[in-house]
Amino acid sequence: MIKKYFSILSFPEQTFQWMMENDDGKHQKRTDIIIFLTAITPFIFVFIYDFIFPYDPNSAEVPLSMRIIGLVIPIVFGTLIGFMILKYLIPFLINAVGQKLSDDASNIDQTRFVFAFSLLPMLLIAPLKGMYFIDKGILLYIILAIQIIAGLNSLYVLHTGVKMIHGFNNLKGIITISPYILLSFAAYFIY
């Protein structure tokens, strides 16, 4: 069953079709789990990496309790903000653009569902996002290439799902997901 969900990475249209035909009433729960994991996983790995490879060489002088507090607070608030953005803001923007371009009104839950499953490639590469301690150039380029491939795959899955929900052609599908593309670029340059 899990294997079927991960087939979305290479066969999004068939996987979305299968999921819509085999709705067991738990799609909302799966959507929330994927969004939560996508929001928290990068923070968790940064937390782990900071203990294994401290960014600050003098961090050994700081008491462990203060280091934990200094990392837990950003994890909690970052996850909360990320969850809100991923669950509410981005699906709302995508759905609003989709409704403007189509004659039929789609359900925000459908958009949220498609968006959540499009995050799977990003969730799979989350351990690579916090590897600031790597100082080998070629390895950094490989990690960056993997992140770019995962990001493009995520956009492909989202584009395919949005096209299925609204019955759009490729151009309308790209226009519909443009808020996510713009926010992703902004987040990349801020992060």
Q: How far apart are CA 71 and CA 155, in angstroms?
A: 31
Q: What is the pLDDT of residue 42?
A: 81
pTM of the full structure: 0.83
pLDDT tens digits, 62-72: 676 777 777 78
CB 12 within 8 A of CB 47: no
**Beta-carbon count within 10 A of 177 CB:** 25
CA distance 111 to 95: 6
Which has the closest alpha carbon to 175: 151, 154, 189, 158? 158
Percent of the residues in the chain that have a pLDDT greater than 70, as a whole number: 85
SS3 of residue 133 by DSSP:
coil
Question: Can you tell me whether residue 176 is helix, strand or coil?
Answer: helix
Q: In sequence order, which residues have a C-beta less than 8 Å from that of residue 169 and are 6 or more positions away?
A: 163
Question: 100 to each of 19, 29, 88, 92, 130, how far by Cα in Å?
Answer: 26, 28, 18, 12, 38
pLDDT digit string, tens, across residues 121-154: 988 888 777 665 566 777 778 888 888 899 899 9
Q: What is the pLDDT of residue 60?
A: 60
CB-CB contact of 43 with 155 (8 Å): no
Residue ranges of the chain with pLDDT lower than 70? Answer: 1-2, 51, 53-62, 64, 105-106, 130-135, 191
